């Protein structure tokens, strides 16, 4: 029996499509997007307009908020006009409808400037000669945000918005700093041997969030597979929600 209704904003994008396929057999999945999703109930609406999207949130247990311009190369005017509004509206509509939990698709780009520092700089360039896997400090979610561009700034805004709605409106909020999720579900350049999040591990992570204890009021988790050269710390996601990634980018080395 499908015991939870899950709404995915931006359901026709890459992340939304992967999650729709991975969740629909276990949960009652619905969506919002600018275009229809053929096989699940989808409200065709503009997420920058709160009044258009609010009907889709009624009776929903968990919202997965993906609606945004997905390119990390997006200029500030696009982030400002589109992403910030989509993000805030998803939280506002969730609060208005009494949603239990919002899973916000943040990004590794909220902390992307750490990759200018050693040893992360060498790892993303594939320069492993003087390094031993996991012998260096992993980047954890207690460390300061360091966005690497307007897109990352928008994701940091989303995390801050989630914190506000958790503290002031009582929403349970989980922010996922998603690594590299691509169509191929495998590395296509050197950086991705560290940053890959496979389709399977994305679904495992989101399922862990949906099923995570109600006692979690706010959490930030890195979304990455169990890659040999992973430099993001996922110990809190293992401990708090039981996320155990199964894939390793080295499989495709």
State pTM to two decimals. Answer: 0.97
**Number of structural domains in the chain:** 1
pLDDT tens digits for range 14-56: 999 999 999 999 999 999 999 999 899 999 999 999 999 999 9
Residue numbers of the domain that contains 70: 5-252
pLDDT tens digits for range 172-230: 999 999 999 999 999 999 999 999 999 999 999 999 999 999 999 999 999 999 999 99
CA angle at 200 for the pair 198 and 205, rounded to the nearest 5°: 95
Helices (H), the chain: 14-23, 50-53, 76-78, 84-97, 120-124, 150-169, 192-195, 199-211, 235-241
Judged by DSSP in three states, 233 sits in coil
145: domain CATH number is: 3.40.50.720
Residue 6 φ/ψ, nearest 5 degrees: -120, 125
User: Rounded mean pLDDT of 56-84?
Assistant: 97
The 8-class DSSP code of residue 139 comes to B
pLDDT band at 2 (very low <50, low <70, confident <90, very high): low
Beta-bridged to residue 180, according to DSSP, are: 196
């Amino acid at each position: 029996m499908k015991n939870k209704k899950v709404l995915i904003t931006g359901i026709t994008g890459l992340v939304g499509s992967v999650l729709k396929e991975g969740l629909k057999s276990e949960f009652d999945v619905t969506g919002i997007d600018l275009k229809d999703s053929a096989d699940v109930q989808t409200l065709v609406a503009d997420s920058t307009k709160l009044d258009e999207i609010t009907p889709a949130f009624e009776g929903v247990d968990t919202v997965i908020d993906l609606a945004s311009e997905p390119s990390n190369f997006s200029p500030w005017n696009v982030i400002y006009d589109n992403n910030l509004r989509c993000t805030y509206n998803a939280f506002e509509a969730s609060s208005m409808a009494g949603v239990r939990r919002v899973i916000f698709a943040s990004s590794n780009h909220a902390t992307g400037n750490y990759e200018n520092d050693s040893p992360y700089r060498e790892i993303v360039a594939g320069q492993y000669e003087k390094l031993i896997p996991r012998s260096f400090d992993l980047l954890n979610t207690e460390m300061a945000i360091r966005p690497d561009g307007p897109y990352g700034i928008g994701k940091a805004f989303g995390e801050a918005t989630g914190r506000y709605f958790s503290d002031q409106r009582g929403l349970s909020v989980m922010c996922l700093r998603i690594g590299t999720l691509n169509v191929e579900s495998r590395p296509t350049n050197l950086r991705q041997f560290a940053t890959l999040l496979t389709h399977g591990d994305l679904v495992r992570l989101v399922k862990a969030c949906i099923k995570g204890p109600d006692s979690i009021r706010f959490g930030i988790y890195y979304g990455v597979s169990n890659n040999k050269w992973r430099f993001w710390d996922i110990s809190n996601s293992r401990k708090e929600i039981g996320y155990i990634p199964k894939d390793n980018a080295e499989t495709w080395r």
